[in-house]
Structure 1
Amino acid sequence: MTVHIIIYAAYVCVVWYSFMAILSLIGQYVIQRRYTHKPKPKSSSLPLTDIPGVSILRPLKGIDLELESNLRSSFQQKYPKFELILSVASSNDPVIPLVERLMKEYPRVDSRLIIGDKQVGINPKINNLLSSYNTAKYDIVWILDSNVHVDHDTLGRSVDLLQQPGIGLVHHLPMAMRPTSFAAQVEQAFLNTNHAKMYVAINAAGVASCVMGKSNLYRRSDLDKVGGLAAFGKYMAEDNIVGEALWSLGLRHAMSADMACQSLGSLTMNEYSARRARWVRLRKYIVTAATLTEPFTESIIAGCMGAWGASYLWPHRFNFVSFFIIHWCCWFINDYFIFCTLSSYSPVSSKKQLASTFNTSFLFAWLTREVMALPLYCFAMAGTEITWRHQRYRCLAGGSAVAL
């Protein structure tokens, strides 16, 4: 009986490993196809009478890294019918002079600044956005984080997708740029490899809602059917909850051939670890099943599962150590090509950045990320506290939280 259980477990390991390998290759394929061949937006060339208007909402707090460039990317959208609403919670926020200067620099852009938030829950981003959301003149809203830079055709391509039947949300691949410390390189290695291919592959499969809130478009008329934006103020990870709410209405999600680029600057290893822990601690209360399976999607555990299963079932063909070494080399090569592709076709790529792609720093950052993945996951699962914008919170069941 015990032997049968072990054989069954070995087959399960081989099947799971095969599934992860296929999923990784799907991510690689989709990234190569989507981000190297960006279509020309059709909506941007339509007459004003036929084109849907869009309200771009950008919540701000303080001076983020590369903030001026990020905000300019909104003013410079090549789309003939949009408004730009920028919002801050405090009248003393240092970002206000920058916003006012950009508004004067682009007088033809329909833009305005809203000062003051509405306290509807624990989520400061929702509180900041609510006045903008309620006063937006268009049904389509594009919520765009302050630390994100986008291509000038992003809005046009996104509206093209949102106009397709059955699509209720359009989002973009998060992309890390310009690290200036080793810990930031580790963060970039994670976001631009493992996270990117899994995020793209899961959305390509379309079996469930999988959304990050860096850059999202949807219709207010759809969101109002599930309570409006204010209903999500009690959640910390409102992006996941909003995506699932629209999914429950039968509205599917789409990703355009665009990226939500974030400059990382300098990070310490403690800051990197805190970011990873925050993501896991939020997800374990929202998508518990997916979070529990997360370690088995990593290269080390998945590789060990495949190596043990293959060497146990077919000992004359496979050796555990050889299998794992070959697996890890192939996994790295796959991630490396994904990293190069995204770096080459991002809207803020440069020759200097591309040159830095082809050196050993990426290898060391990738190895560090892979080795740290399981210890960080265990640390995150054991705790409940997160820090966001210098405020500490305790996560609660259902995705809500309380400030500490």
Structure 2
Amino acid sequence: MEVESSLVSMKTILLVLNYTLVVWYCFMVALSLFGQYIGQSRYRHKPEAKSSKLPFAEAEGVSIIRPLKGVDLELEANLRSSFIQNYPKFEIIFSVASPEDPAIAIVDSLMQEFHNVDSRLIIGDHQVGINPKINNMVESYRTAKYNIIWVLDSNVHVDKDTLGRSVDQLMLPGIGLVHHLPIAVQPATYAAEIEQIFLDTNHAKMYLAINGVGIASCVMGKSNLYRRSDLDKVGGLEKFGKYMAEDNIIGEALWHQGLRHRMSSDTACQALGPISLKGYCARRARWVRLRKYIVTAATLVEPFTESVVCGIMGAVGARNIFQIPISTFFCVHWTWWFVNDCLLYRTLVSSSSLHTLDAQKPLKIWRFLRAWVSREVLALPLYLYAMAGTKISWRDQEYKCISDGTAIAVSKELDTQPLLTATA
């Protein structure tokens, strides 16, 4: 009787496990389709920017802060997109740490060209923490004319109506932060194509779906608008200088005040140019190492959201419950996952605000397939590698991530662990 009881218990456990695998797979399918739905409905048709039509006296003023270091690809076009915003009241503040920075010449040229636009350049940073981006922006934040702050990375290009549509969203009741979907265009190498596929497929649909559900803060800091008065309630910008992933921490700080986040129908468009395979791997692993102490639960679940692991889970559960061959299930799974990603990719690339020769041209299908398969196959090994370490390198400085989400600078001479070198 005890043996029979043990067998029954084991069968019950296995049955529950198999159903769990199938339920998780169905959940991921639903989440992926939800992200696809948001992407197709939001980025195919952009609404008119109502705030852009307001007279100067009635419009909410916005201070655009653009931190700079070096000359990013398409830097002039990126910065120019700030000057031509179709909005009645804004200023642009460029922040650079060193007076020798080559970006200064481009800024000076644009400020002369658009002399009628309220803009200025601040040279020199303030050491308030370990994060060089925060150190670079502190003076700009303190001296900004307006309460609404738009932090816009130097490698990002935006549409001329982005500010107007974003202010429309920020003015909605209970909204404390508006952010934009990061997308990539203009890959110049095979590894850059993999990076583009990651950002414009898997990352995009999960980012859209999670923010669509809206049960927690999920923010990337490439293009964010919020009110300085709200951030000052928790210590202001300089409080976040001790964190490397300050964008997510700022988003959570505003969320905990009861202020929800919104996304407009605009994208934060980044031109990639040439990237090495080592550089791609470093970027992806760097993201994991920065997030694993800040959003631990989401980071631990991440492998089970990927097409390979998730597909295997669904295939095993379907075989044990419905007697569907694993190979058949996985082939169908990978085909629909590929088609789903391909459709979203084409929509996002075609909506790009960077109007250069190749920016809005999707990859040929065979190149898309090559990059897509490479991205999916590399996902788990890169994740495991990243989870095993704590060291990263950012903007020529090496750091060690700490369990409280902060980081410390480390000496190259003392470092023995493999580093993840990546740009922002």
The alignment's TM-score, normalised by the length of structure 1, stands at: 0.98
Pick from 53, 61, 65 the counterpart of residue 53 of structure 1: 61
Distance in 2 separating the partners of 1:392 and 1:351: 36
1:385 partnered with 2:391: yes
> What is the deviation of 1:351?
6.8
Does 1:214 pair with 2:241? Answer: no
Amino acid paired to 1:98: I
Aligned to 1:336: 342
CA distance in 2, matches of 1:394, 1:53: 39
SS at match of 1:397: coil
Asked if 1:29 corresponds to 2:45, the answer is no
Residues 1:11 and 1:349: Cα distance change in structure 2 (over 3 Å): farther
- Report the secondary structure of 1:137's partner residue: coil
**Which of 304, 323, 327 pairs up with 2:329?**
323
Q: Quick one: structure 1 residues 98 and 351, their matched pair in 2 at CA, closer, same or farther if it must change by over 3 Å?
A: closer
Query: Which residue pairs with 1:122 in the alignment?
Result: 130
1:167 to 166, 175, 182: 175
Query: Aligned residue for 2:263?
Result: 255
Q: Is the 8 A contact 1:56 1:144 kept in 2?
A: yes
Aligned: 1:8 with 2:31? no
Cα deviation, residue 9, structure 1: 0.7
Q: Take 1:353 and 1:262, find their aligned partners in 2: how far apart are those partners?
A: 9
Q: Rate the CA distance shift 1:255–1:355 in 2: closer, same or farther, 3 A.
A: closer
Structure 2 match to 1:143: 151
Cα deviation code 1:36-79 (max 9, x no counterpart) = 01001000001112110000000001111110000000011011
Measured in 1, the distance between the counterparts of 2:292 and 2:138 equals 27
The SS at the match of 1:63 is coil
Say which SS state the counterpart of residue 242 (structure 2) adopts: coil
Segments of 5+ residues of structure 2 without an aligned counterpart are 1-8, 411-424
What CA deviation, in whole Å up to 9, does each residue of 1:164-195 have, x standing for no partner? Answer: 00000000000101000000000001000000
Offset of 1:352 from its aligned partner?
4.6
| Matching residue's letter, 1:164 | L
What amino acid is the match of 1:33?
S
Which of 354, 359, 366 is matched with 1:348 structurally? 354
- Which range is displaced more, 3-12 or 23-32? 3-12
2:319 to 311, 331, 344: 311
1:289 and 2:294 matched = no
**Partners of 1:140 and 1:114 in 2: CA distance:** 19
> Which position in structure 1 is the counterpart of 2:112?
104
Paired AA for residue 135 in structure 2: N
Pick aligned residue for 2:404 from 381, 398, 401: 398
Report how far residue 350 of structure 1 moved: 5.9
Residue matched to 1:19: 27
Q: Percent identity?
A: 63
Conservation of the 8 A alpha-carbon contact between 1:343 and 1:349: no
Which runs of 5 or more residues in structure 1 are unaligned? none
Q: How far apart in 1 are the matches of 2:93 and 2:322?
A: 62
Any conservation in 2 of the 1:148–1:262 contact (CA below 8 Å)?
A: yes
Instruction: Report which stretch shifted further, 18-27 or 344-353.
Output: 344-353
CA distance change for structure 1 residues 63 and 350 in 2, over 3 Å: closer, same or farther? closer
> Which letter does structure 2 place at the counterpart of 1:370?
E
Superposed counterparts of 1:199-238, under 5 Å: 199-238=207-246
- Structure 1 stretches of 4+ moved >6 Å: none
Task: Give the distance between the partners of 1:172 and 1:68, measured in 2 at CA.
Answer: 20
The separation in 2 between residues aligned to 1:389 and 1:54, in whole angstroms, is: 28
Instruction: Quote the residue 1:191 is aligned against.
Output: 199
Give how far 1:354 is off.
5.3
Indicate the SS of the match to 1:246: helix
3-state secondary structure, aligned to 1:257: strand
Q: Which moved more, 1:375-384 or 1:44-53?
A: 44-53
Residue matched to 2:379: 373
TM-score, length-normalised on structure 2? 0.94
User: What aligned pairs does 1:242-281 form with structure 2 within 5 A after superposition?
Assistant: 242-281=250-289
| Cα deviations by residue, 1:15-36 (Å, 9 ceiling, x for unpaired) | 0000000000000000000000
Q: Which amino acid aligns with 1:30?
A: I
Counterpart residue type for residue 387 of structure 1: S
The 3 A distance-change label for structure 1 pair 11 and 214 is same
Offset at 1:353?
5.2
Counterpart amino acid of residue 306 in structure 2 = E
Report how many aligned residue pairs link the two structures. 402
SS at match of 2:233: helix
Matched residue of 1:383: which SS? Answer: coil
Query: Deviations along 1:183-211, whole A, 9 cap, x unmatched?
Result: 00000010000000000000010010000
Shift in CA distance, 350/202, structure 1 to aligned 2, threshold 3 Å: same
> What's the CA shift string for 1:345-377, capped at 9, x where partnerless?
111256755554333001000000000000000
**Amino acid across the alignment from 1:163:** M
What is the alpha-carbon distance in structure 1 between the residues aligned to residue 13 and residue 182 of structure 2? Answer: 42
